[in-house]
Structure 1
Amino acid sequence: MTDSSRIEISGEGLRCADVIRVARRSAWADLAPDAVERATRGYELAVELGAKRAVYGRTTGVGANRHTVVDAETADRHGLRLLRSHAGGTGDPLPGDVVRATMVIRLNQLAAAGSGVHPRLLRALETALRVGALPLVHSRGAIGTGDLTALAEIALTLADELPWAAGALDPVPVSPGDALAFISSNAATLAEAVLAWHDLTRLLAASHVVTALTFCALSGSTEAYSERVHQARPHPGAIRCAAELRRLLATADGLPPGRRLQDPFGLRAFPQVQGPALEAAENVERVLGIDLNAAAENPLIDVETEQAYHHGQFSTAHVALAFDHLRAALHHVAELSTARLGDLVEPDLSGLPAFLAEGPAGSSGIMILEYVAHDALGTLRHAASPVTLGTAVISRGLEDHASFSTHAVRSTVAATAAYRTVLACELLGAVRALRMAGTRLPATPLREALRLAEHALPHIAEDHPLSSEITLAEQLLDRLATL
């Protein structure tokens, strides 16, 4: 639901959290007046430069047609021809939140005033976001060198050449130089990237809570989370993770004693495995923060030097590599979750019946959760494979590298969904074990976590289908993340 909260769009300072708020409709975008003034100067300079020299995409074709000069007699229609030829996307339509994120990111990039696009296109994007008008944008057509198909579809929708998916605006004229200036961006990939980063970081936050619940169910040893231990090997992510676990577990009387001299790796090495994932997520946020505010269009129309610079800023290798790293780190985290689930069903570790079964002899309890979790882990393992090991050579050999950042992001979406299932299975096991043992949790945020879980998840002693409970546990993870 939209509220009155506004985020100023100025071409700088846009954060991932701001994009999330606009995309998921808790805020709207408000274009700064000086951003329009800068865009106007950039547009006027681009027109002036195009009258004096060759400017890629404005006075020439694109790709391998870079040296082909646009026919003066048809130059006024060059922009629309370029958009029509590039609006070849296919596949499923992008969800509404992705399209809104794409629009606000592109608006902010254009506000950075390096494109030379006509300022009326900035106003059109701002208006569309405010009134809820959404273009129909297809998902397939990008390889990490510019979201040409998606942005061409948005531009043609603004020009009233393609139908709106929701709402509508009055048609916006497209100047001859506007086409490449508008579509020379990775805004759609960045939109999916921001949403993927947000959803995954929430799961990583929830994993601290779920691990702490399992820790209590297994009566773990808190020595592994000692501040002294982590000062001796001060990786930032591990320090942060251990501190979170101490916050969740410690009371005014200190940390509870453990049952064992040393715990299995799922508990004992959790900070060392979770830490790299936290650091990888922070690096993704840093990379995205740069690209959200970048004037990365090719060519760059630079008002300060009054020049047009042709370059390779369309490459998104930073994004692709950051997400490849994040998925690899996430896989290790998910492996530990499945290991802890295995610990929960082991009587020697839990002090409870095998598989946390409560029925007659031979009951299976939550045995099937291990199968479900390892199925999801297998999916995650495949999604974690690096996409940056491949490339593409296109446009008659001129464009001979691609980062496939779009695919790195979408693999992260798949990995996140799989990890949600893995973590939900562990949560079900931990809550069942705590209920069976009648464990009283410390007076920390963890007690509230268990209260929420016991309210949301039914406790059925006898063997029964667990599918609906897995779904409920997946939904609960977002609430646990806020604790």
Structure 2
Amino acid sequence: MGKEIIIDGHSLTMEDIFLVANAKTTDVKVSLSPIAKESILKSREYVHKIVEKGEPVYGINTGFGALATKHIAKKDLSQLQVNLIRSHCTGVGKPFSREVTRAIMLLRANCLTSGYSGVSIEAIELLIDFLNHDITPVVPEKGSVGASGDLAPLSHIALALIGEGEVVVDGKAQKSDFAIHQIGKKPVILGPKDGLALINGTAVMAALGALAIYKSERLVKLADIAAACTLEGVRGTASAYDYKIHSLKPHPGQLASAINLNKLLEESGILHSHPDCGKVQDPYSLRCVPQVHGACRQTLAHSKEVLGIELNAVTDNPLIFVNEDEVISGGNFHGEAIAMAMDYLAIGLAELCNISERRVEKMMNPTFSDLPAFLTPNSGLNSGLMIAHVTAAALTSENKYLCHPASVDSVPTSTDKEDHVSMGVTAGRKLHEVLDNLTKCLSIEFLCNTQAIDLLRPLKSSPAIEALIAHVRKTVPMIEDDRIFYKDMNNIEALINNNELLSVVEKVIGELN
């Protein structure tokens, strides 16, 4: 058995989420902390006391949303929760990936362990069993407006817990009750507040945000690496990266990017091979890399701060304060903070894609680069990387409409009771599209700049960049004649996604900022 992640409602990290989201069943085990169990049981006992008193308390013995004034008889409370789950399973579209769904389940379980939700411990334990036995509920992507929580997608997970939903096990869809019995468990029997606690929160949008941030932290470093490689390929000047310049405009992201670029270019033979070439200033896409990449890093820093709080927040409603003998209705389920952070991060990632495409164009253009047109030794007969650049342009253009902020929209629902919503899941889904486009754009830039540097042989770049080129060449040979380039792009994208390119570079020069 690999790593054990003990959830307690207070200490979950983005790395934990990424590990669980991508884990095989033998890699990571999720378990409840003993202290969390005590809090869960105390909170649950408090709910039962409310039921015995019979006084109306929202979410426990009343209707929901605009039906909150309807008092529900004690004998109907279990059916009330089942009806809630069934009626809220209205998601549409393709299902979330296994990775995202597992992240959602972990975040929901973590929130419920805090002891403020009043949910049965059996529901939380079965949610954890799903993670540990690799049972993945089928959760449609669309249907949440990001207030009152991510009701529709979370309801599809809750439906699986009560044995009425669909799940995927070993790549095959099956009924959830069958999967539950296969692991020696029983479906959850919902009691007072159970259904509402399972679906009333920000777990879906938080999962999308956390996974995007974890991946983005690596991509911002790779963007610096790509820029350094391209500067070398077109024999640009590194004078604009001088730390004295950036110390006069000390934005943290800008400083970090400038430090990275200088480390990456240390001991470059190419850099020192053209001191009298006449290039005084490079185009902005090369000269202003620290300023642009740095600003993009700031969007990531802000988003990480917001999501870091949300991961261990209590986001359902109403909340139970056992020690204070209170049940208070509030709005922690509202996803405005996450939605805005994800919209902001999408803009930052799109700009990394935007400037990457401009650098690719510089390598295509022999007037600027002094390299063969489209980086092919025999242009005319060969088109070279002409259309790889077109693909980068297409992805960059697509990001522009994907970056229209979802969080500025709001469609009132529930007879205007829920009259302002965050559209957080929409923001998260768009963010992942932009993230995927950026990954592909960087793969194209690496395809081009490794070719450009090889065309400068026998000159050599820095040790770090040469190590990267050598690793790329294991699966992507230097281009002599036209071939099917999407395969090369896919191979480099795989090296990005499995963290190989970053690891190769950091083994040479240490961890980048």
TM-score of the two chains, using structure 1 as the length reference: 0.94
- Are residue 171 (structure 1) and residue 172 (structure 2) matched? no
Distance in 2 between residues matched to 1:380 and 1:136, nearest whole Å = 28
In the alignment, which residue of structure 1 is the partner of 2:175? none
Query: Cα 1:294–1:361, aligned 2, differ >3 Å: closer, same or farther?
Result: closer
Distance in 2 between residues matched to 1:355 and 1:134, nearest whole Å = 45
Bigger mean CA deviation after superposition, 457-466 or 58-67:
457-466
In the alignment, which residue of structure 2 is the partner of 1:290? 309
The alignment partner of 1:388 has SS state of helix
The alignment partner of 2:2 has SS state of coil
The alignment partner of 2:406 has SS state of coil
In the alignment, which residue of structure 2 is the partner of 1:23? 21
Q: CA deviation at 1:247?
A: 1.5
> Which of 110, 122, 125 in structure 2 is aligned with 1:123?
125
Q: CA deviation at 1:27?
A: 2.0
Amino acid at match of 2:121: P
> Which of 138, 149, 152 in structure 1 is aligned with 2:152?
149
Q: CA deviation at 1:253?
A: 11
Q: CA deviation at 1:109?
A: 0.6
Bigger mean CA deviation after superposition, 385-394 or 74-83:
74-83
> Which of 411, 422, 440 in structure 1 is aligned with 2:441?
422
In the alignment, which residue of structure 2 is the partner of 1:221? 237
Query: Cα 1:252–1:450, aligned 2, differ >3 Å: closer, same or farther?
Result: closer
Contact 1:49–1:308 (8 Å) recurs in 2:
no
- Are residue 44 (structure 1) and residue 63 (structure 2) matched? no
In the alignment, which residue of structure 1 is the partner of 2:341? 322
Q: How does 1:349-360 map to 2 (within 5 A)?
A: 349-359=368-378
Q: CA deviation at 1:328?
A: 1.4
- Are residue 481 (structure 1) and residue 502 (structure 2) matched? yes
Distance in 2 between residues matched to 1:304 and 1:247, nearest whole Å = 55
Distance in 2 between residues matched to 1:428 and 1:228, nearest whole Å = 32
Distance in 2 between residues matched to 1:375 and 1:253, nearest whole Å = 34
Query: Cα 1:346–1:111, aligned 2, differ >3 Å: closer, same or farther?
Result: same
Task: Please identify runs of 4+ aligned residues in structure 1 that moved more than 3 A.
Answer: 251-259, 360-363, 439-444
Distance in 2 between residues matched to 1:463 and 1:252, nearest whole Å = 29
In the alignment, which residue of structure 2 is the partner of 1:112? 114
Q: CA deviation at 1:401?
A: 0.9
In the alignment, which residue of structure 1 is the partner of 2:425? 406
Bigger mean CA deviation after superposition, 365-374 or 436-445:
436-445
> Which of 8, 11, 14 in structure 2 is aligned with 1:13?
11
- Are residue 33 (structure 1) and residue 34 (structure 2) matched? yes
Query: Cα 1:335–1:221, aligned 2, differ >3 Å: closer, same or farther?
Result: same
The alignment partner of 2:420 has SS state of coil
The alignment partner of 1:456 has SS state of coil
Q: How does 1:436-455 map to 2 (within 5 A)?
A: 436-438=455-457, 440-455=459-474
In the alignment, which residue of structure 2 is the partner of 1:302? 321
> Which of 128, 137, 147 in structure 1 is aligned with 2:139?
137
The alignment partner of 2:473 has SS state of helix
Query: Cα 1:427–1:164, aligned 2, differ >3 Å: closer, same or farther?
Result: closer
Q: How does 1:457-476 map to 2 (within 5 A)?
A: 457-476=476-495
Query: Cα 1:261–1:395, aligned 2, differ >3 Å: closer, same or farther?
Result: same
1:403-433, Cα deviation, whole Å (9 max, x unpaired)? 1010111111111122222222211111111
Contact 1:80–1:176 (8 Å) recurs in 2:
no
Bigger mean CA deviation after superposition, 401-410 or 348-357:
348-357
Distance in 1 between residues matched to 2:378 and 2:269, nearest whole Å = 38
Q: CA deviation at 1:272?
A: 0.7
Contact 2:376–2:479 (8 Å) recurs in 1:
no
Q: CA deviation at 1:291?
A: 1.3
Amino acid at match of 1:90: V
RMSD: 2.1
Query: Cα 1:255–1:45, aligned 2, differ >3 Å: closer, same or farther?
Result: farther
Q: CA deviation at 1:73?
A: 4.0
Distance in 1 between residues matched to 2:379 and 2:64, nearest whole Å = 72
The alignment partner of 1:395 has SS state of coil
> Which of 74, 78, 81 in structure 1 is aligned with 2:80?
78
The alignment partner of 1:284 has SS state of helix
The alignment partner of 2:155 has SS state of helix
Distance in 2 between residues matched to 1:463 and 1:135, nearest whole Å = 45
Contact 1:128–1:134 (8 Å) recurs in 2:
yes
- Are residue 365 (structure 1) and residue 384 (structure 2) matched? yes
Query: Cα 1:460–1:357, aligned 2, differ >3 Å: closer, same or farther?
Result: closer
Q: CA deviation at 1:390?
A: 1.2
| Long gaps (5+) in structure 2 | 170-178, 506-513
Distance in 2 between residues matched to 1:222 and 1:212, nearest whole Å = 9
1:11-50, Cα deviation, whole Å (9 max, x unpaired)? 1111111100011004221211110101111111223244
Query: Cα 1:465–1:128, aligned 2, differ >3 Å: closer, same or farther?
Result: closer
Amino acid at match of 1:27: V
> Which of 272, 276, 279 in structure 1 is aligned with 2:291?
272
Contact 1:393–1:399 (8 Å) recurs in 2:
yes
Contact 2:107–2:203 (8 Å) recurs in 1:
yes
- Are residue 193 (structure 1) and residue 196 (structure 2) matched? no
Amino acid at match of 1:367: M
Query: Cα 1:66–1:320, aligned 2, differ >3 Å: closer, same or farther?
Result: same
Bigger mean CA deviation after superposition, 209-218 or 147-156:
147-156
Distance in 1 between residues matched to 2:292 and 2:77, nearest whole Å = 58
Amino acid at match of 2:357: T
> Which of 274, 282, 299 in structure 2 is aligned with 1:263?
282
Q: CA deviation at 1:83?
A: 1.4
Query: Cα 1:32–1:271, aligned 2, differ >3 Å: closer, same or farther?
Result: same
Q: CA deviation at 1:464?
A: 3.6
Q: CA deviation at 1:385?
A: 1.3
The alignment partner of 2:63 has SS state of coil
In the alignment, which residue of structure 1 is the partner of 2:226? 210
TM-score of the two chains, using structure 2 as the length reference: 0.89
The alignment partner of 1:6 has SS state of strand
Bigger mean CA deviation after superposition, 25-34 or 60-69:
25-34
Distance in 1 between residues matched to 2:296 and 2:341, nearest whole Å = 11
The alignment partner of 2:236 has SS state of coil
Amino acid at match of 2:160: T
Distance in 2 between residues matched to 1:222 and 1:251, nearest whole Å = 12
1:165-189, Cα deviation, whole Å (9 max, x unpaired)? 2242422221122111221112122
Distance in 2 between residues matched to 1:332 and 1:212, nearest whole Å = 17
Distance in 2 between residues matched to 1:141 and 1:360, nearest whole Å = 50
Amino acid at match of 2:501: L
Contact 1:7–1:18 (8 Å) recurs in 2:
yes
Distance in 2 between residues matched to 1:419 and 1:76, nearest whole Å = 47
Distance in 2 between residues matched to 1:370 and 1:23, nearest whole Å = 33
Contact 1:209–1:480 (8 Å) recurs in 2:
no
In the alignment, which residue of structure 1 is the partner of 2:510? none
Query: Cα 1:316–1:361, aligned 2, differ >3 Å: closer, same or farther?
Result: closer
Distance in 1 between residues matched to 2:43 and 2:55, nearest whole Å = 16
Q: CA deviation at 1:444?
A: 3.3
Contact 1:113–1:295 (8 Å) recurs in 2:
no
